[in-house]
Structure 1
C-alpha cells in the first residue's frame, strides 16, 4: 500500500500536552513502538529514506518513507507481530516491494540493521481539519510530546493547523521527524 503523507506537527511542552489531553480524553491511548533500520554507514539516511517496523498491540507494519516536494511517499506492508519480532531480532528482511525499492537506490538490504527504537503513546482522532494525533514519545533517556495533523490538502492543512495552534494558545515549535530526533541521540551517545 502506498500513499502520500502530508502532515504538520509541533513539539509541545508538558503544559501544552496536558491541556490538549483533555481534548483527546475520549480517545483510548495506543502504545506503539517504531524500530528503525539503516546500515552502519547510514546509507538509508544518505539516500533520504527511512525504514521502520511499527509494532502495535495486535499487529505490525513495515514502512518506507521517501520525501517528496510536498509530504512523504509512504510504502506500507502489514506484518504479523511474530514476523515483525523475527525481522527486528535477525535483521533479515524478506524480499518484498519495499526491499526491492530500497535496492534500486543502491542500498544493500543485507547490511540493514535495527539501530534502536522509539515508543509512542498516541491518542489519534479524526477532526474536522484532518487526522490529529497527540503523542508522548520515549527514546534513549528523552521524553517529548508532539501534536500531528495529517491532511490531504497541503495549503488548507497548514492554515487549519496554524489556526488550531492559535486557538489553543500553543506556540509552534519545529519538530524533526521521530527518526531524526531518535538518530540525534545516537550521535550524542557516541
Structure 2
C-alpha cells in the first residue's frame, strides 16, 4: 500500500504531554517498536529515504518513506510477526514492493543492517482536524514526547495544527523525524 503522508509535529515537554494525555485518557495506548535499517555508510539517508520495520504485539509492517515536495510517499508492506523478527535478526528484507523499489533505486540490499530501535507508546485519535497521535518515545537511553497531526490538506492542516497548539497552550518545538532523532544518537555514540 502506498500513501502520501502529510503531518505536522512538535516536541512536547512533560507538562504539555501530561495535559494532552489526560484529555486522551479514553484512548487505549498502543506500544510499537521501530527497527531502523540503513547501510553502515548511510546510503538510504543519502537518498533521503528511511526504512523501518514497525512491530506491534500481534503484527508488523515494513515501511519505506521517500520525501516529496509536500509530505512523504510511504510504501507499506504488512508482515507477519515471525517474518518481521527474522528480517530484523538477519537484515534480509522479505520479497515485495519495497525490496523491488530499493533494488530499482540502486540500494545495496546485502549491505543493509539494523541500526537499532525506538519504542513508542502512542495514543491515536481521529479528530475533526486529522489523525492526532500523542507519543512517548524511548531510544538509546533517551526519552521524548511528541505530538503529530496527520492531515490530507497541507495548508489547512498547518493552520489547524497551529490553532490546536494555541488552544492547548503548547509552544511549538521543532521535531525532527523519529529516525533522524534516533540516528543522531548513533553519531554521538561513535565519537
What is the count of residue pairs matched by the alignment?
Answer: 190
Deviations 1:118-174 (A, max 9, x none): 000000010010000000000001100000000000000000000000000000000
RMSD: 0.6
Does the alignment pair 1:103 with 2:103? Answer: yes
Matches within 5 A, 1:28-67: 28-67=28-67
Q: Which residue of 2 aligns with 1:128?
A: 128
Does the alignment pair 1:162 with 2:169? Answer: no
Q: Which residue of 2 aligns with 1:14?
A: 14
Counterparts of 2:117 and 2:130, CA distance in 1: 27
Shift of 1:77: 0.3
Q: Which residue of 2 aligns with 1:173?
A: 173
Moved over 4 A (4+): none
What TM-score, normalized to structure 1? 0.99
Counterparts of 2:155 and 2:94, CA distance in 1: 38
Gaps of at least 5 residues in structure 1 are: none
Counterparts of 2:128 and 2:95, CA distance in 1: 39
Equivalent residue of 1:51, what SS? strand
Counterparts of 2:96 and 2:113, CA distance in 1: 17
What TM-score, normalized to structure 2? 0.98
Counterparts of 1:95 and 1:86, CA distance in 2: 13
Counterparts of 1:31 and 1:124, CA distance in 2: 11
Q: Which residue of 2 aligns with 1:145?
A: 145
Counterparts of 1:141 and 1:89, CA distance in 2: 21
